[in-house]
Amino acid sequence: MGKLFGTDGVRGIVNEGLTPELAMKIAQAACTWLGGGKVLIGKDVRYGGDMIVSAVSAGLASCGCKPYYAGLIPTPGLQYAVPRLNYDMGIMVTASHNPPPYNGIKVIGANGVEVPRNAERVIEDILFNERFRKVPYNLVSDLRVENEALEVYVEGVVSSVDVDLIKKKEFKVVVDGANSVGSLATPKVLRSLGTKVLCLNCNLDPSFSWREPEPTPTSLGYAAKIIREVGADLLVGHDADADRAIIGDDAGRVHWGDRSATLLTEYVSQRYPQLPKRTFTAVSSSHFVVEGYLGPKGIEVRWLPVGSVNISHTLIREGGLSGFEENGGYMHPLHQPVRDGAMKTALFLEMLAYYGKKASELFDKLPKTYPIKGKVPRPPNFNMRNLYEHLKDKYSSCKFDEVDGLKVVCEDFWFLVRPSGTEPVIRIMVEALNPKLAREVYDTLKKTIELFIASITS
């Protein structure tokens, strides 16, 4: 049996890897798995979105589901609306942070969380064997419009924080909306919290012409300059579907998501002592920051495979303070157990107000580390296991973790090597306690991987 679902949904280049025919079949298979019911569809601004929504709607209707369209909405907005507006499933048309040619499909369960891995396998099996549950002509439903989803989501985020506490501070926040749906929600949330909003890249543009759709310290470099020029308290940068939020502080420094999430996890443990003192994070997060800072405070850190689906379902099953990823995804279980960029932003402001501190002061409490990310092309059918064993031999004095890819933890540095779940590349993450070592480790590791690939494929 083939495999369609990657780390987070099904993705591909529009009209190549992701065709309307495939989109319709995914919807047919998902509806067959569901057995019928009401399904809420949403999208971000990516190319081909209307085409894919039409195909998804047709596929759902053909198998007895009733499709409803929420329009442009962040992924966490659709996820929040599904259970609260009594839908049986959601389908989000997005490729998240991927480049402009890509689009994708996320299948969301009745609880607002992307369906678990075993459900993905069942949906794939139905699709590849074309065991679709098609219904008679008189049971085919037309597409209807759902007008309340976005507003319900905005109200839900605002109601999850201490509005009066935040309003007293009269914060000023720069929002980089990635020219997509985060521009429709986060500014509304912030204005409801009495915050002055300066909106950057908040036009709806499927080409993402001003910056790439993935929020990183590099892609948010221009926005970081704005922080200091306007005297803002915070910068928040979203990806295309706004389930991620990368935070920049008042000093103009942009921080990876595991740093802001570590601060939020500590805050939640103090503000909500009834929650179990544990957090769940992807193996891609920093050992030095997460384990080094939270461990001594009595907070258990559980390492999981990369992918928000894994973290969400574990958080639901076992309970905890938070779930997060270094890419900016943060899950606040008292709101909803999925990545939510607007919720992360609002909670961060509540934390600043509660402590009476500047963002820069809070970030300065964390261990100082130097991360570098990169990638190398991955040949078709490349055996990652052989590469892992080669790297284990080379770094035999270090500790290894293979919960997802290969994570090598040494005394002054660590790195992670794993295949991307959304692109034909090998992702490399390196972090060290000084910048020179980080660069040396990264350059050596990248060259080692490239030479190994060349030796296998030549």
Write out the two tokens for 246: 């990368």
Comparing 10-151 with 370-457, is the CATH topology the same?
no
Sheet arrangement for strand 399-401: 370-377, 425-432, 413-419, 406-409, 399-401
Mean pLDDT of 389-398: 95
H/E stretch holding 76 reads helix 75-84
pLDDT over 90 (residue 422): no
Q: How confident is the model at residue 423 (pLDDT cuts 50, 70, 90)?
A: confident
Domain ranges (residues) in the chain: 10-151, 160-363, 370-457
Q: For domain 370-457, which CATH number applies: 3.40.50.300, 3.90.79.10, 3.30.590.20, 3.30.310.50? A: 3.30.310.50
SS3 19: coil
pLDDT over 80 (residue 341): yes
Residue 156 CB-density burial (10 A; 0-12 exposed, 13-18 middle, 19+ buried) = buried
* Cα–Cα dist 376/447, whole Å: 10
SS3 321: coil
Per the annotation, the verdict on 96 as an active-site residue is yes
Write out the two tokens for 286: 């920093």
Residue 385 CB-density burial (10 A; 0-12 exposed, 13-18 middle, 19+ buried) = exposed
Write out the two tokens for 131: 């065991």
Contact in structure between 170 and 232 (CB atoms under 8 Å): no
* Cα–Cα dist 145/266, whole Å: 41
- Report pLDDT for 389: 96
Pick the closest to residue 74 from 195, 177, 199 (CA basis).
177
Q: Which pTM does this prediction carry?
A: 0.92
- Report pLDDT for 458: 66
Encode pLDDT of 106-123 as tens digits: 999 999 999 999 999 999
Q: Mapped to the 3 state alphabet, what secondary structure does 85-130 carry?
A: CCCCEEEEECCCCCCCCEEEEEEECCCCCECCHHHHHHHHHHHHCC
The sign of the CA dihedral 111, 140, 132, 55 is negative
Q: For domain 160-363, which CATH number applies: 3.40.190.10, 3.40.120.10, 3.90.1150.10, 3.30.70.360? A: 3.40.120.10
Q: How confident is the model at residue 1 (pLDDT cuts 50, 70, 90)?
A: low
Q: Which residue has the tokens 């306690």?
A: 433
* Cα–Cα dist 204/234, whole Å: 23
What amino acid is encoded at 41 in this protein? I
Pairing of strands 322-324, 330-331: antiparallel
Looking from the CA of 102 toward its CB, the CA atoms found within 13 Å total: 20
Catalytic residue selected from 57, 96, 180, 308: 96
Share of the chain above pLDDT 90, in %: 94
Encode pLDDT of 174-204 as tens digits: 999 999 999 999 999 999 999 999 999 999 9
Encode pLDDT of 271-325 as tens digits: 999 999 999 999 989 989 999 999 999 999 999 998 899 999 999 999 999 999 9
Q: Which CATH superfamily is domain 10-151 in?
A: Alpha-D-Glucose-1,6-Bisphosphate, subunit A, domain 3 (3.40.120.10)
